[in-house]
Amino acid sequence: MVKVNGLNIFTDGGARGNPGPAAVGVVVKNQHGERLAGFGQFIGQATNNVAEYQAVIAALKWLLVHQETILGCQPINFYLDSTLVVNQLNGRFKIKDLKLKNLIIKIKDLEKKIAQEIFYKFIPRTKNHQADFLVNQTLDQKNF
């Protein structure tokens, strides 16, 4: 369990097939590790990378709707088990794929609306099991 002051958001995205039926999972915890929210969403056909980005977008949209939850929560830490996505979001890796570039633009626009410090950090898949569970649960419910 990662414990850091602020809000801790664990996201995961996955597809059964690549591309294939895809879903996202989001778990939001406070600085004490208490779960504030958790949800999965089916996103249609997508690649694994697109699903990872869509998970971040779903979490950022949740933050916008629940702004009262994030007041005073500094920083906002996102934890993902995709080194590629973390490095692209942090500007360390270039993004060649136009679809992924457009998703990054959407993420950066949402970040501006939230107007708080947001950090993206890599964690091993074993530390992201709750978000991963929500992805698989969502896909299982759709019978994929």
Q: What is the pLDDT of residues 62-89, one digit of tens each?
A: 999 988 767 676 789 999 999 999 999 9
pTM: 0.94
Domain segments of the chain as ranges: 7-141
Tell me the Cα Rg of the chain.
14
For domain 7-141, the CATH class is alpha beta
The answer, yes or no, to whether residue 1 has pLDDT greater than 60, is no
Residue pLDDT, tens place only, 88-140:
999 999 999 999 999 999 999 999 998 889 999 999 999 999 999 999 999 99
Would you state the pLDDT for residue 5?
64
